[in-house]
Amino acid sequence: MFVQGDLELYDPETGEVLNPADFTDKDGNPLVLSPATVANYLNNPKNKALRAKLHMSQWDFNNAYRPYHLRSIGEFSLSKVSLDDRDLPRPMKDGNRVKAYYAYDVVSGAVVGYAYNRYKTTELFLDCMRNMFQTLDRNGMYIPAELEVEHHLVSDFADGLMQAGTVFPLIRWCNPGNSREKRAEHKNREKKYGVEKRTQVGIGRWWAKLEANRPKEEKVYDEKNNTYKVKAYSYEELVADDIRAIQTFNAQPHPNQKRYPGMSRWDVLCAHQNPNLAPWDKAVLYRFIGQHTETTIRQNTYCTVMYNQYGLPSPEIIEKLEPRNYKVDAYYLPDADGTINEVYIYQNGRYIATCKPVARYNENTAEQTEYDKAAYTEQSKYVAQFDKMMKDGKIKRVGILAKEEAKLITEVQAEAVPLPTQAEEEDYSAYMDISAFEHDAVAKI
């Protein structure tokens, strides 16, 4: 219709109106294409991809047309840990879904960290990091060499915790909308349609061809005509079920039994750690992921955190405090049972010390146990160190003179002492060269 003059076409970007005369053959006749020719042009692989880029969403285009990298999984565990969030598939009683965040070791496939929340906030990510490091600490594992994360929820930590070299040696930021790139996405699917589908009711693919793979749904025929009867659960039930699923998932045989015969995912995680991993510095790490509270150094001895006292390692630590400032920031990470084994104190961003719990002892001597005696000895040592520091660093007094007395002293004239002659210097040198016996004899004379 365009080449015949029935329609006008224009370029929406430049506003140029196209001329039908530019689309004619050598004799000036309009080029008329058959439907088959048009279909061939449109379905040429290149043109088909170009049309898809124009018509499809970025996510659909990436999955259907855009090339992707072919990768192989490494050899050692904790070389790379991939993190991702998801909504648990079954709803709560209010219709919402529990938000979960997982940390997967790429090589073993085991879940090394998890967290749950009703809302998808940065606290969900931090809780997962805390859980991961509690797991690593309990099992004597070192810090992962690389973390794979997405910008969502994590971008706020790009200049601190998630900056390469600050806590983790390497950080990989995945491209948004490219779920195939992130290993955690694959593990989420593997966990959902593996363990969860077999152990939990209502997990499946509603579009699956096989009926056994589709969740059971019953439609509600009401005025809305778009709702279904779906069993709802409490938040606590869903979290407990998912933690059990994680434990089962980690205990399953590793998918690559040819490479790891007879080993579970957790066995591979523990037995094949990267030998080049470095230990982690809790004082640095807990400043980013630990719990925080402001406290005060009391009696040059301890600070109070969560109603418990944590003592300075030595009295000399108080030298690091700023003048007239005993307030500090305490960072800590409780264990699963709530126990806090150590507290890291900072002042205005500067590390001060690591404080351990102060062991109290029973003041009734008749009731004291070996624990009480050891606690008494430990506190006595600290007091003795403080007393020694006070003694060694004692401030000396100075005398004070009135201005008149000081003026009399300054007016006293010093008398010049004549220098010894050359002969006197030679006699003194000869005296210093004689033997000790002769020296005593001369002294008597």
> Per residue in 401-411, pLDDT tens?
888 777 777 66
Whether residues 326 and 227 fall in one domain: no
Whether residues 310 and 199 fall in one domain: no
Give 114's DSSP letter: E
Looking at residue 435, what is its pLDDT?
53
Looking at residue 442, what is its pLDDT?
47
CA distance 249 to 110: 7
Q: Which of 215, 245, 271 is the last residue of a domain?
A: 271
Domain that includes residue 194, residue range: 81-271
Whether residues 260 and 311 fall in one domain: no
Residue 53, in any domain of the structure: no
Strand extents, DSSP E, 24-160? 81-91, 97-105, 111-117, 146-149
Looking at residue 395, what is its pLDDT?
85
CA distance 389 to 1: 99
Looking at residue 155, what is its pLDDT?
87
Residue pair 312/302 in contact (Cβ under 8 Å)? The answer is: yes
Whether residues 222 and 297 fall in one domain: no
Q: Which two tokens stand for residue 238?
A: 């869903």
Whether residues 89 and 234 fall in one domain: yes
CATH code where residue 232 lies? 3.30.420.10
Whether residues 295 and 253 fall in one domain: no
Q: Which of 271, 305, 325 is the last residue of a domain?
A: 271
Whether residues 185 and 316 fall in one domain: no
The tally of domains found in the chain comes to: 2
Residue 164, in any domain of the structure: yes
Residue 157, in any domain of the structure: yes
Q: For the chain, which residues score pLDDT lower than 50?
A: 437, 442, 445
Whether residues 260 and 330 fall in one domain: no
Whether residues 240 and 327 fall in one domain: no
Whether residues 231 and 345 fall in one domain: no
The per-residue pLDDT for range 265-302, each reduced to its tens digit, is: 999 999 999 999 999 889 999 999 999 999 999 999 99
Report the predicted TM-score, pTM, of the whole model to 2 decimal places.
Answer: 0.76
Whether residues 239 and 336 fall in one domain: no
Looking at residue 129, what is its pLDDT?
93
CA distance 97 to 233: 10
Whether residues 195 and 330 fall in one domain: no
Residue 98, in any domain of the structure: yes
